[in-house]
């Protein structure tokens, strides 16, 4: 048992503020390791981490894989294609098989909300949710929080806007759950078809107008628009979406003076974010990738590692 | 062969009886009901002091899965489950394989249920062939074979013209259509009720209006055709308003509600336990309150379980992949007793009406009662029995219930079918061979 007391990291909904702080603090020395000439510490030597991805993702699975490797764990990626699911093996059996091979941690992405919770109930390995359906993506939210913390020095009381398809966004949901524990003023901005029912009850303000939603915010978190969601029903066209919701340098003028822009990637340049903004120093999209590795090292370490000294020599 | 049930509180809504009385059964019929019936010469005397004696309970909405899905339930286990749950008559839905869309399948169900011989099973024929919503089933043949109603339950009839013609056609058979009201375009991809909890738990929502708009359509079509419409498992405030208005206006509309929609909300979905996945989905406190209120005001005609047993593989999986439905026959009575009657939200008399006379009215059959000459179908409840719901002990093959582990007070104590004790304290009384099960 590591320093992270709960067995699994399934989402930020039920995680305490103090646990998040510990994770974010631990990410600081982890980030330091990534910038060294020799990016490896023996903290998790002899531990096995398996990434089980039921949805395509290069970014998140690579990030977890490198995070494990920098800590000397043995990591492997298992992409479970649709075809092998169709062969009929249940999720429970697949997970049990991986557990019995000796996995200490399962990092799982799955298109069904709650699938990691189901898996966690059925395995003694520790489970990290790397995105489940439209529910949560806790490590993405943690890396967003870490990036904000690095630039703002604090999370407390910031004004944060999340722009895009809130309804289908696990990134938005985890950010809302995480940041609301730090007293942030949270806003969601998007077409009214993509705002989930009763979201105000999660303590967020809803805007459908980009300009008014961005006024005075410290952080703009721009979500990737899933073009396949459109289908002519949820929003009329990509053109109209871009017209109404593409964030550009002009919008930064509405925000607070030193506002920063986040994007979970991969970006649709010219749709939800303009190229000019994507390449501006105010946009942290590339730094977020590095921070993502650091945050994932932190969670892996806290779940499996020993004392603090193992990473600071 | 005589049997005397002594000293119980007899509640017989149809005869307006509520008192400490004895009930004498001779052969398979009620012989007498009264105070202090002489016991001399009687060998079989049941001491029912402290118990509630009622006409046999009826559940008009059960999925028996037989033929075709016997790994989920069959007519033997379904019959046993009904008997143990306090029911003497059940109606079974036609979404079997083959579908009950012709007389042959209906006859199979009837013959098989008679072979099993525990409870009366009244089949419901399908509205459309193969439940496809396109062509009408041979409804006259189904009626002739013994079907008591028609339903495509599980699959709403999406085409309004097909529903209109179905209602027109059944008018001449004088049988009701049991409608599963759901607009599939509005409910598509949905897993839980759309609202705060769908947002909190990150699950795609089904708005209450997916039900409301179809109830409105079907009530309109019932008005147009003059046919008898029964709305299955209503779960929303909107449905209640539409049905209330339709009844006031004189339409032939009835409706049922399930024990789970009366007592649970979508809040319990938070652990993504597929046993909470049901269609229509568990709603909110406001809907639940309105349903209970409507029970008391007589807007809802009966309680029905929508007993939907599933094999374990269909529920031991990801939430989105899981089958919908709750195994309800063996928890209906204790759930209503514990969550509504014992806490004063529903009178025991109304509960009994909703399980006996109410279902008969929906079916248009002579209401069950404890009058001399009537078949001795009797349900006896122990209002003080406290037990924990343990699906492992269910007679049903379906162990899928969100009530698992709950401690409930008020259980069926004895089920008597045609003068014969078929279940006692939750256990079957084995007096006949029931085949391999």
Residue B204, chain A, CB below 8 Å: the answer is yes
Contact A114 B205 (CB under 8 A): no
Give every CB contact of residue B364 below 8 A, 6+ residues apart in sequence.
B174, B175, B176, B228
CA distance A284 to chain B (A): 27
pLDDT at residue B434, rounded to an integer: 44
Beta strands A159-163 and A219-222 are parallel
Taking residues B350-371, report their average pLDDT: 98
User: How many residues in total does chain A contain?
Assistant: 313
Q: Is there a contact between B319 and A115 if contact means CB atoms under 8 Å apart?
A: yes
Task: Give per-residue burial for A10-19: e unless 16+ CB within 10 Å, then b.
Answer: bbbbebeeeb
SS3 content of chain A, % helix, strand, coil (to 5): 45, 15, 40
Quote the CA–CA distance of B4 and B414 in Å, as a whole number.
Answer: 13
Which region among A221-235, B324-338, B343-357 has the lowest average model confidence (pLDDT)?
A221-235
> Is A269 strand, coil or helix?
strand
Mark whether B102 is an active-site residue: no
Q: Please report how many Cα atoms fall inside a 13 Å half-sphere around the Cα of residue A248, on the Cβ side.
A: 10
CA distance A276 to chain B (A): 33
Nearest to B12 by CA among B334, B374, B286: B374
Contacts of A114 in chain B (CB under 8 A): 201-203, 271-272, 318-320
Are A41 and A72 within 8 A, CB to CB? yes
* Tokens 């699950």, located at residue: B203
CB-nearest partner of B318 from A91, A197, A199? A91
- Cβ of B200 and A13 within 8 Å? yes
Interface check A133 vs B, CB under 8 A: yes
Which residue is closest to A118 within chain B, CA to CA?
A: B318
Q: Tell me which of B59, B306, B338, B377 is the catalytic residue.
A: B306
Rounded to 10 degrees, the C-alpha dihedral B142/B146/B151/B155 comes to -70
Q: How far is B311 from chain A (nearest CA, A)?
A: 14
Asked whether residue A313 carries a pLDDT value surpassing 90, the answer given is no
- Chain B residues with CB under 8 Å of A134 CB are 202-204
- Nearest chain B Cα distance for residue A176, angstroms: 10
The answer to whether the beta carbons of residues A296 and A139 sit under 8 Å apart is yes
| A1-11 mean pLDDT | 84
pLDDT band, residue B437 (cuts 50/70/90)? very low
Judging contacts by C-beta atoms under 8 Å, the chain A residues touching residue B316 are 90, 92
Question: Does A204 contact chain B (CB < 8 Å)?
Answer: no
Of A118, A135, A197, the CB nearest to B202: A135
pLDDT at residue A1 above 60?
Answer: no
Written as one string, the DSSP assignment of A5-16 is: -SS-B--STT--
Query: Cβ of B204 and A134 within 8 Å?
Result: yes
Q: Is the pLDDT of residue A308 over 70?
A: no
pLDDT of residue A228: 67
Query: Yes or no: is domain B56-363 CATH 3.40.50.11060?
Result: no
A203 in reach of chain B (CB within 8 A): no
Considering chain B, tell me which residue range(s) the CATH 2.30.40.10 domain(s) occupy. Answer: 2-53+374-428
Of B196, B201, B318, the CB nearest to A112: B318
Cα distance between residue A277 and residue A283, in whole Å: 7
Q: For A193-247, how does the pLDDT look when each residue is reduced to its tens digit (9 = 90+)?
A: 999 999 999 999 999 999 999 999 999 999 999 876 666 688 888 999 999 999 9
Fold of A17-136+289-304: Rossmann fold (3.40.50)
The lowest-confidence range among A84-88, A107-111, B261-265, B414-418 is: A84-88
- Cβ contact B204–A111 (<8 Å): no
B171-229 pLDDT, tens digit each: 999 999 999 999 999 999 999 999 999 999 999 999 999 999 999 999 999 999 999 99
Q: Is A244 exposed, middle or buried (0-12, 13-18, 19+ CB in 10 A)?
A: middle
| Start and end residues for every CATH 3.20.20.140 domain found in chain B | 56-363
CB contact under 8 A, A197 and B313: no
Query: By the CB < 8 Å criterion, does A91 face chain B?
Result: yes
pLDDT > 70: what percent of chain B? 98
What is the reported pLDDT for A58? 86
**Domain ranges in chain A with CATH number 3.40.50.1370:** 17-136+289-304, 138-285
Q: Nearest Cβ partner of B321 from A112, A170, A199?
A: A112
Contact of B203 with chain A, judged by CB distance below 8 Å, is answered with yes
- Structure tokens given for B391: 């699906």
What is the DSSP annotation of B351-365?
A: HHHHHTHHHHHHHT-
Does pLDDT of B354 surpass 60?
yes
The CATH fold of domain A138-285: Rossmann fold (3.40.50)
Is the torsion defined by CA of B122, B127, B132, B133 positive or negative?
negative
Q: State the nearest Cα–Cα gap between A86 and chain B, in angstroms.
A: 13
Per-residue pLDDT reduced to its tens digit, B118-175: 999 999 999 999 999 999 999 999 999 999 999 999 999 999 999 999 999 999 999 9
Cα angle value B61/B67/B69 (rounded, 5°): 85
**Are A62 and A87 in contact, with CB atoms under 8 Å apart?**
no
Tokens in use for B139? Answer: 């409804």
Dihedral sign (CA A253, A257, A258, A264): negative
CB contact under 8 A, B204 and A92: no
Query: Which pLDDT value is given to residue B353?
Result: 98
pLDDT digits 0-9 by tens, A133-166:
999 999 999 999 999 999 999 999 999 999 999 9
Kindly state the DSSP code that residue B270 receives in the 8-state scheme.
G
pTM score, whole prediction: 0.94
Which of B194, B205, B318 is the closest to A114 by Cβ? B318
The interface predicted TM-score (ipTM) is: 0.93
d(CA B56, CA B375): 10
Q: What is the mean pLDDT of residues B33-59?
A: 94
CATH topology of domain B2-53+374-428: Urease, subunit C; domain 1 (2.30.40)
């Amino acid at each position: 048992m590591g320093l992270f007391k709960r067995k699994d990291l399934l989402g930020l909904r039920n995680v305490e503020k103090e646990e998040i702080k510990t994770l974010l603090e631990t990410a600081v020395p982890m980030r330091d390791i990534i910038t060294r000439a020799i990016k490896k510490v023996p903290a998790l030597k002899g531990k096995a981490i398996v990434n089980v991805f039921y949805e395509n993702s290069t970014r998140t699975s690579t990030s977890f894989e490198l995070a494990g490797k920098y800590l000397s764990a043995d990591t492997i990626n298992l992409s479970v294609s649709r075809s092998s699911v169709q062969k009929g093996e249940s999720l429970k059996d697949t997970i049990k098989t991986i557990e019995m091979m000796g996995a200490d941690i399962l990092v799982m992405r799955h298109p069904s909300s709650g699938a990691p919770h189901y898996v966690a109930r059925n395995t003694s390995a520790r489970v990290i949710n790397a995105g489940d359906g439209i529910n949560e993506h806790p490590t993405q939210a943690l890396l967003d929080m870490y990036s904000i913390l690095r630039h703002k020095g604090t999370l407390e009381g910031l004004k944060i806007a999340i722009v895009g398809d809130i309804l289908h966004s696990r990134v938005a949901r985890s950010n809302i759950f995480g940041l609301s524990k730090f007293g942030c003023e949270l806003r969601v901005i998007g077409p009214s078809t993509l705002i989930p029912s009763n979201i105000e009850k999660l303590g967020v303000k809803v805007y459908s107008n980009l300009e008014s939603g961005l006024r005075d915010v410290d952080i703009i978190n721009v979500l990737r628009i899933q073009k396949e969601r459109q289908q002519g029903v949820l929003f009329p066209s990509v053109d109209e979406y871009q017209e109404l919701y593409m964030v550009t340098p002009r919008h930064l003028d509405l925000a607070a003076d030193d506002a920063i822009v986040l994007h979970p990637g991969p970006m649709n340049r010219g749709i939800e974010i303009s190229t000019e903004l994507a390449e501006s120093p105010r946009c942290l999209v590339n730094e977020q990738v590095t921070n993502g590795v650091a945050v994932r090292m932190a969670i892996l370490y806290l779940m499996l590692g020993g004392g603090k000294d193992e990473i600071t020599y | 062969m005589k049997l005397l049930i002594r000293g119980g509180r007899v509640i017989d809504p149809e005869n307006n009886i509520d008192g400490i009385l004895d009930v004498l059964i001779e052969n398979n019929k009620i012989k007498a009901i009264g105070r202090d019936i002489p016991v001399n010469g009687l060998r079989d005397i049941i001491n029912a002091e402290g118990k509630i004696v009622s006409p046999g309970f009826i559940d008009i909405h059960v999925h028996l899965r037989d033929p075709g899905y016997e790994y989920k339930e069959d007519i033997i286990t379904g019959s046993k489950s009904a008997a143990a749950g306090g029911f003497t008559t059940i109606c079974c839905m036609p979404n079997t394989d083959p579908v009950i869309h012709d007389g042959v399948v209906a006859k199979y169900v009837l013959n098989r249920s008679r072979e099993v011989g525990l409870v009366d099973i009244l089949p419901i024929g399908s509205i459309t062939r193969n439940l496809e919503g396109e062509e009408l089933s041979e409804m006259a043949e189904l009626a002739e074979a013994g079907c008591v109603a028609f339903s495509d339950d599980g699959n709403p009839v999406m085409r309004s013209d097909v529903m209109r013609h179905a209602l027109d056609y059944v008018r001449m058979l004088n049988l009701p259509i049991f409608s599963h009201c759901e607009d599939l375009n509005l409910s598509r991809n949905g897993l839980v009720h759309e609202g705060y909890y769908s947002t909190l738990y990150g699950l795609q929502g089904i708005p209450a209006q997916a039900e409301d708009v179809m109830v409105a359509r079907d009530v309109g079509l019932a008005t147009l055709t003059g046919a008898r419409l029964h709305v299955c498992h209503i779960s929303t405030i909107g449905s209640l308003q539409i049905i209330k208005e339709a009844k006031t206006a004189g339409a032939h509309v009835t409706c049922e509600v399930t024990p789970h929609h009366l007592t649970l909300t979508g809040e319990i979905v938070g652990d993504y336990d597929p046993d909470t996945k049901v269609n229509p989905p568990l709603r909110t406190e406001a809907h639940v309150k309105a349903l209970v209120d409507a029970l008391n005001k007589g807007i809802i005609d009966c309680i029905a379980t929508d007993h939907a047993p599933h094999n374990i593989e269909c529920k031991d999986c990801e939430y989105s992949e899981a089958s919908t439905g709750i195994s309800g026959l063996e928890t209906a009575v204790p759930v209503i007793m514990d969550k509504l009657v014992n806490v004063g939200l529903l009178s025991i008399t109304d509960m009994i009406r909703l399980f006996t006379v109410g279902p008969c009215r929906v079916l248009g059959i002579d209401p069950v009662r404890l009058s001399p000459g009537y078949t001795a179908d009797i349900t006896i409840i122990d209002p003080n029995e406290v037990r924990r719901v343990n699906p492992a002990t269910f007679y049903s093959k379906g162990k899928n219930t969100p009530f698992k582990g709950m401690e409930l007070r008020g259980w069926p104590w004895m089920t008597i079918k045609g003068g014969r004790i078929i279940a006692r304290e939750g256990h079957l009384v084995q007096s006949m061979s029931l085949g391999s099960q």
